[in-house]
Amino acid sequence: MPGASVISETWLWAGWAAAAAPFAAFVLILFLLRRRPGAAAAVSLAAVATSMVFALCLLVCCVDMETPLRSVVTWMISGDTVISAGVHLDGLSLLMLAVVCGICLLVQVYSLGYMAGDPGFARYYAFMSLFAGAMIFLVLAPGLVQLYIFWELVGLSSYLLIGFWFEKFSASRAGKKAFVMTRLGDVAFLAGLLLLLVRGGVMDIAALSNGAAGLSSGMITVSAVLIFGGVIGKSAQFPLMTWLPDAMEGPTPVSALLHSATMVAAGVFLIARMFPFFSQSDAAMTFLLAVGTVSMLMSATMAMVSRDIKQVWAYSTISQLGFMLMALAAGGYFAGVFHLFTHAGFKALLFLCAGMLIHAFHSNDMFVIGQGGARGLKIPMLCMAVGAAALSGIWPFSGFASKEAVLATLVSLENPAWLIAGLAGVFLTAYYTFRLVFIIVFPAGRGQTRAEDPARGVAYAYGAMAWPVILLAFATLVLGFLAAPIRHWLAAGAGAHEAVHGPAWLAPLSLGLVFAAIAVAWVEFGRKNASQTGFVERVRVVAELFARRWYLDDIWGWAVSRLLDRGAAEACRQADNRVIDGFVHSLAGAAVASGRVLARGHRVMIQARLMIMFAVVFGLTCIMLIWG
Amino acid sequence: MQLHSAQFPVLSLILLVCLAGLAAVVLLPAEKKQAVKYVSTVCSAVTLGLSVYVFVAYDRALGGMQFVEHLQWAPSLGVSYINGVDGFSVPLLLLTGIVFFTGVLTMWEHDLRVKEFFAMFILLVTGVFGMFMALDLFFLFVWYDVSLFPMYLLIVIWGSTNREYGALKLTLFLLAGSALILPGIVYLVAESGMGTFSLPALVNNADFSPFAQKLAFFLFYVGFGILAGVWPFHTWSPAGHVAAPTAVSMLHAGVLMKIGAFGILRVGMFLCPEGWAFWAPVMALLATIGIVYGALAGLRQTDLKFVIGYSSVSHMGVVGLGLAAMTVDGVNGAVFQMFAHGVMTALFFSAVGYIYDKTHERKFANLGGLSHVMPVAGGYFILAALTGIGVPCLASFWAELLVLLAAFDVYPVYGAVAVSALAINALFILRVVEKTCFGPVNPKWEHLPDVSFGLGMPRLVLAGVIVIFGIMPFLMYETIQSASMLLISGLP
Amino acid sequence: MSVYSIFFYLIAALMILSTALAVTRKNMVHAVLFLVISFLASALLFFLLGAPLLGILEVVIYAGAIMVLFLFVVMMIRIRATEGSGFLLWHYLGAGGLSALYVAACLLLVRHSGPGTGAPMPAAVAAPADFGLYLFERHWLGIEIVSLLLLVALIGVLHLGLSPAGQRSGKGGPY
Amino acid sequence: MIVPYTHVILLASLLFLTGMICTVLRRNLIMLLLGLEIMLNAAAVAFVGAGLHLQQIEGQAAALFILAVAAAEVAVGLALIVCIYRQTGTLDPECIESDVCELE
């Protein structure tokens, strides 16, 4: 069918173009528009908008696509190793592409307001474009190596974005921490990838998924677990989770971008992308389930005691990512991916709302924001309420639908412990979400602050920030009802035969837990004369444990500074200075010393030397005469 | 080893241009500093152009030795003047051309004994060019030594921190290396019984016993390995890098260390394949230790140049690991890493050199916020750092990928250890970036100028090369492949 | 045994005796004088062995010029008769060993000597005129070189003698 | 008919030995030089004897050169000795290595 092939080729070009546009914008801004912020922003927005348009076109036109489209070019050949680049268009990648482009576009529009007047405005948009391009290529990758490459580039651009305000020590340090900790995971990823390449010789994800590589099951488990290492790093799971809350040092739109749909979601996306491959190993999936569960619960507890509004959302991001991983590991392909999409929407919404509040009140502390009169800002407050409801999983917001799907997959597992953990997660999520909402909406000293003008300092480009937020809130309302078409769409990708709706008791149970949690939060924070201390904070030890992130940072700090810095590294340095150089120096010293000894031999009286000379001559004569 | 004669002796032309530049610089009066600089720039630009021509004109499909020139020189000794390049030396010629050109431009503001400096510099480069193209063991050794001895003067006269120590250590180490190489060459030539130093003749016709190969390869490995920074013979390199002036550091870390690896490849592996196979596990072990060790030792350094010096040790370990794998991937990756690391280190040192010229401070604890003061210079520094970390789409990523791939194939344990060193690498290089470029601005440096367009040029060239070959690695791999396939398929 | 051989042994005995005496004298003037006797004896030996020109030159140069030069220097610097403290024991032992080695080498040489060395040698005389002609025919270059050497020695000695000793010890010197 | 060649050589070697012992065992520069002269003379004797033995006039030529060289050598050597004596005030060869002497 020649017509069809022409059409599909056109779509492939669209895919390439969608990915390339932001890269072009990056280069253009970096070299030509560094000193023209306005033009830089325009170029960057235009590029992302182009990608968005292409993504939507692809989404609309490929809706009835039977088989994935792909276009592959050879990037490099070395011996038998062929590394290729390309675009791979199927249900998952197209949906993800649309979500990524959408979030990128909205965040960039929002940044017009948020970042206005920043000296590094053009640089900001350059990095944003780089990020968008890398993320798009990652999403479209047909092969594991390409995925890894753009995975790393995403990490790089997140490093640059988190450390965007590099004059602040904390910001540059947070960027470094993010990069190094994700790198730690990536090392495992790379090892797994190389193992696959060496043993299987195939890098194509489709080929890996249908078992064309002919790997043994043990090898699959080992490489899957290694690749999970990359996921753990990128998606900030236990034990590499602590970089994510620190990454809040970046500008808020960056947080919104990184921690909703793009960077951290890349880990989940990888699992989804290679879902059939990973499904071949039960052990690896169980490992993933455990990791997801532990991270989900741990970070939820951390969120319960934080005073920093962005930190709360950061912890909740980890927690929700853990939730997605649980779903995927439990076999719920659709549940995990769907939660990824809904989460992308409402988490971006929450971050952007938080950004508006921070922008208005110049503080990250939710108590300060609440007392500053945040309830006066109608748009962010309403939208944040929508986002919070979605995060908690209240009908009819999008979070409800996806969370129910996740719980439904957990029900299907034999071991009920996972379901219980999931329900506990639901409870905690609702609790810390509404704790934050109540603190901001019903601040403790309500009476005094009323007098202040709530819209103080709001003479910023409000519109640029408000419209993306409103759009996202709308998406959050709608997305929950799109479960069925998305499911149909994704069905082509993998054997999605999991339950979307659990048993009848599941939805009431989870909703009941949510409302119970909200009630607890209300009692502690919302009602008049509430003490505004949570039940956790009453137990000092536990509060301390949660506030210090279960001492994970301390453990990592100890490992780096003691084991690595002062242990291994110092040992190497000392070995260099003492052992190797010491050996060399002693060699040199020995040469000098032996020279001295010989020189002393030459300093004896001439007559002794004369004697030696004679002796040598006559000795030689004798020798020659005897053996000559 | 197939030889394809040159229509036009372009290789000798490169040497001649260098020598002409050297003569011109020597003949100019010492006061005319600008003239000396212009002459050196023209000389380096022409050599760069010629090496680019060689890179482009090299016939990848044909492979083998091309542009071969053959002249009898001393028939009674079996010495002849043979030049030729294959897929291994073409990238390195290009690298030398690039680093030569950018090095000369980097020293544009240099003002102390300009004439002598550039004369020595050009002499050094001549030796390097000659070494990369020589196909006669005698000439190869002579060029090798020609490229070593100006180093001592360059460091002692124009160096900085602890220069006498650094220069002496470097020279003694490298001469110790020569002292092993020469017996190795003579032994092999004597063993062949052919009475010729010609590498193609020896490779094609000589039949060395396994013992001779093992012995000779060991000599070559240690002798050239000292120059290549193989652990534990690497300690000269950080000390030397630190002491040397910027352009010399660039050339030194960028090109000279490659000479060592290239020597192992060209002499050791071509002549003694069985020795290579015998010693490969040892090479892999030492290389892996070097990779991890360099990164770890770099973690504790406080001097910018020391950090780069140790990262060089780590990166040259990657080269060693690739060569030890004895596969097409490994050799490809190793040669590409030589190229990529050369350009990367040159950029690194030139960025550091700029920072040092302006601040006279190399302890990075005292720097800070330089990205704010000099965003472009800081940008080059960061780009070099990212290349050093092995960020994809920058040249050295591809090299590391292939080397690690080969290592996983042949030595899985070493491969795993080497991979984990990537994380340490990231940690220590980013730490330096953070301390140098980020953080609050030190008020002392607030008014420093950013890098000007002229001085930025060499850095731009280097950065461009890194990015071009990072995005289009096939440009380089096709060339390297044409040689490595032949080498590996010729193995017993 | 012919008259010549009696002469030879007498002369040889004289030479060895006077040389040994010369070597062992504490007083250097005596040593030099004994050596003069030894050289005169060797001049006789040269006559005996058929080299009259050499014998005369020996008398003129060795016993005459050189020994007088020695005597001159000895008298000039008027050195104390006592020498410095003797050598350590190992030095004497070394000298003994050296002598033993030397003797061994000589004995080996004698053993390896060619045929006819044990037989008495025929007497022959090289007339001074023939000898001179021979020299200037075959060794004219050597003669010139030696004369040049003597000239150089002369200049060197002049230079050494002219330089004031006190200033030469310092750095540089007057020149 | 005179003595056998061996006897001449024996004489020369004894002379040489005496001279050698003199150079090695006397702590006096002048005596050292004397010892050298004795050895040179021994060589000359050996040459003349060999010339007679082989019926070659060449041996006498060599002896002549020895004489000339000895003369030059003695002249320079004695001048040096005088210089040394002026500087150090001693003729002990050990003291010429100045630091050795200062140790005492």
Q: By percentage, how much of chain C surpasses pLDDT 90? A: 39
List chains touching B (3+ CB pairs under 8 A). A
Q: Is residue B454 helix, strand or coil?
A: helix
Closest C-alpha to B433, from A510, A405, A179, A387: A179
What pLDDT sits at residue A339? 87
Mean pLDDT of the region B70-86: 89
What pLDDT sits at residue B45? 94
Exposed, middle or buried: residue D48 (CB in 10 Å: 0-12, 13-18, 19+)? buried
CA distance A616 to chain C (A): 10
| Residues C63 and C133 both lie in one domain | no
DSSP-assigned states of every residue in A194-245 = HHHHHHT---BHHHHHTTTT---HHHHHHHHHHHHHHHHHHTT-TTSTTHHH
Mean pLDDT of the region B69-84: 89
D4 secondary structure, DSSP code: B
What pLDDT sits at residue D103? 37
- Contact criterion met (CB below 8 Å) for A142 and A291: no
What pLDDT sits at residue B51? 93
Which two structure tokens, joined as six digits, stand for A116? 């206005």
Chains B and A touch (3+ CB pairs under 8 A): yes
| Residues A510 and A601 both lie in one domain | no
Which two structure tokens, joined as six digits, stand for B218? 């060991």
List chains touching C (3+ CB pairs under 8 A). A, D
Find the CATH number of the domain harbouring D81: 1.10.287.3510
Find the CATH number of the domain harbouring C26: 1.20.120.1200
The verdict on whether omega for the bond into residue A239 sits within 30 degrees of 0, i.e. cis, is yes
- The total number of structural domains in chain C stands at 2
CA distance D1 to chain A (A): 31
Domain with D41, as residue range(s), is: 5-103
- Contact criterion met (CB below 8 Å) for B39 and B99: no
**Taking CB atoms and an 8 Å limit, are A607 and D23 in contact across chains?**
yes
Closest C-alpha to A431, from A392, A470, A472, A385: A392
| Residues A367 and A445 both lie in one domain | yes
Taking the Cβ of residue B364 and every Cβ of chain A, the question of whether any pair is shorter than 8 Å is answered with no
Q: In this structure, is residue A242 part of a structural domain?
A: no
Distance, in Å, from the CA atom of B341 to the CA atom of C59, rounded to the nearest integer, reads 83
- Of A609, A622, A624, A626, which to mutate for an interface test with C (greatest number of C Cβ within 10 Å)? A622
Distance, in Å, from the CA atom of B197 to the CA atom of C163, rounded to the nearest integer, reads 57
Q: In this structure, is residue C87 part of a structural domain?
A: no
- Of A602, A610, A621, which to mutate for an interface test with D (greatest number of D Cβ within 10 Å)? A610
Contacting residues for C67 by C-beta, under 8 A, at least 6 apart: C32, C35, C36, C39
* B392-405 tens-digit pLDDT: 888 888 899 889 98
Q: In this structure, is residue C171 part of a structural domain?
A: no
Helices (H), A32-90: 37-61
CA triplet D35, D38, D41: central angle to 5 degrees?
155
Question: Considering all CA atoms of chain B, what is the largest pairwise distance in Å, rounded to the nearest integer?
Answer: 70
| Residues C1 and C75 both lie in one domain | yes
| Residues A495 and A583 both lie in one domain | no
- Contact criterion met (CB below 8 Å) for A186 and A193: no
What is the overall mean pLDDT for chain A? 81
Complex ipTM more than 0.85, yes or no = no
DSSP-assigned states of every residue in B31-47 = T-HHHHHHHHHHHHHHH
User: Which chain C residue shows the shortest CA-CA distance from A619?
Assistant: C101
Beta-bridge mates of residue B70: B82
**Taking CB atoms and an 8 Å limit, are D32 and A603 in contact across chains?**
no
Q: In this structure, is residue A523 part of a structural domain?
A: yes
Mean pLDDT of the region B488-492: 80
CA distance A175 to chain B (A): 9
- The total number of structural domains in chain A stands at 2
- Evaluate if residue B92 carries a pLDDT over 90: yes
Residue with tokens 């480069």: B125
Cα Rg of chain D (Å, integer): 17
* A333-379 tens-digit pLDDT: 888 888 888 888 888 888 888 888 887 777 777 787 777 776 777 77
Taking the Cβ of residue A583 and every Cβ of chain C, the question of whether any pair is shorter than 8 Å is answered with no
- Evaluate if residue C85 carries a pLDDT over 70: no
Q: In this structure, is residue A365 part of a structural domain?
A: yes
For residue A606, which residues of chain D lie inside 8 Å, CB to CB?
93, 96
Mean pLDDT of the region C64-93: 77
CA distance D40 to chain C (A): 11
Domain edge (last residue) among A518, A552, A586: A552
**Taking CB atoms and an 8 Å limit, are A614 and D100 in contact across chains?**
no
Distance, in Å, from the CA atom of A512 to the CA atom of A514, rounded to the nearest integer, reads 5
DSSP H/E element including A74: strand A69-78
Distance, in Å, from the CA atom of A95 to the CA atom of A92, rounded to the nearest integer, reads 5
CA distance D62 to chain A (A): 21
Q: In this structure, is residue A389 part of a structural domain?
A: yes
For residue C91, which residues of chain A lie inside 8 Å, CB to CB?
607-608, 611
* B374-424 tens-digit pLDDT: 888 888 888 999 888 888 888 888 899 889 989 988 998 998 899 888 888
DSSP H/E element including A77: strand A69-78
Residue B136's alpha-carbon distances to A155, A360, B5, B211, in angstroms, are 48, 75, 15, 23
Closest C-alpha to B254, from B309, B201, B188, B327: B309
- Evaluate if residue A451 carries a pLDDT over 50: no
pLDDT band at D69 (very low <50, low <70, confident <90, very high): very high
**Taking CB atoms and an 8 Å limit, are D97 and A605 in contact across chains?**
yes
| Residues A485 and A525 both lie in one domain | yes
**Taking CB atoms and an 8 Å limit, are D25 and A607 in contact across chains?**
yes
Q: By percentage, how much of chain A surpasses pLDDT 90? A: 2
What pLDDT sits at residue D43? 94
For residue A611, which residues of chain D lie inside 8 Å, CB to CB?
24
- Evaluate if residue A71 carries a pLDDT over 50: yes
Domain edge (last residue) among A524, A552, A580: A552
What pLDDT sits at residue B48? 94
- Evaluate if residue A456 carries a pLDDT over 60: no
Residue C13's alpha-carbon distances to A325, C42, D4, in angstroms, are 117, 11, 16
**Taking CB atoms and an 8 Å limit, are B371 and A166 in contact across chains?**
yes
CA distance C133 to chain A (A): 36
Mean pLDDT of the region A616-622: 91
Which two structure tokens, joined as six digits, stand for A398? 């999008």
CA triplet A205, A210, A215: central angle to 5 degrees?
85
Which two structure tokens, joined as six digits, stand for A301? 């507890």
| Residues C66 and C2 both lie in one domain | yes
| Residues C71 and C133 both lie in one domain | no
* C46-55 tens-digit pLDDT: 999 889 999 9
**Taking CB atoms and an 8 Å limit, are B329 and A78 in contact across chains?**
yes
* A234-248 tens-digit pLDDT: 888 888 888 888 888
Domain with C152, as residue range(s), is: 127-164
Q: In this structure, is residue A459 part of a structural domain?
A: yes
- Of B288, B336, B419, B488, which to mutate for an interface test with A (greatest number of A Cβ within 10 Å)? B419
Q: In this structure, is residue C88 part of a structural domain?
A: no
* C146-174 tens-digit pLDDT: 999 999 999 999 888 776 644 444 443 33
* B170-194 tens-digit pLDDT: 888 888 899 999 999 999 998 888 8
Domain with A298, as residue range(s), is: 282-552
Distance, in Å, from the CA atom of A262 to the CA atom of A257, rounded to the nearest integer, reads 6
Domain edge (last residue) among A497, A517, A552: A552
**Taking CB atoms and an 8 Å limit, are A153 and B392 in contact across chains?**
yes
| Residues A369 and A397 both lie in one domain | yes
What pLDDT sits at residue B342? 92
**Taking CB atoms and an 8 Å limit, are D37 and C66 in contact across chains?**
yes
| Full-model pTM | 0.81
* A398-449 tens-digit pLDDT: 888 888 888 888 888 778 888 888 888 888 888 888 888 888 877 766 544 4
- Evaluate if residue B61 carries a pLDDT over 80: yes
CA triplet C6, C11, C16: central angle to 5 degrees?
130
DSSP H/E element including B78: none
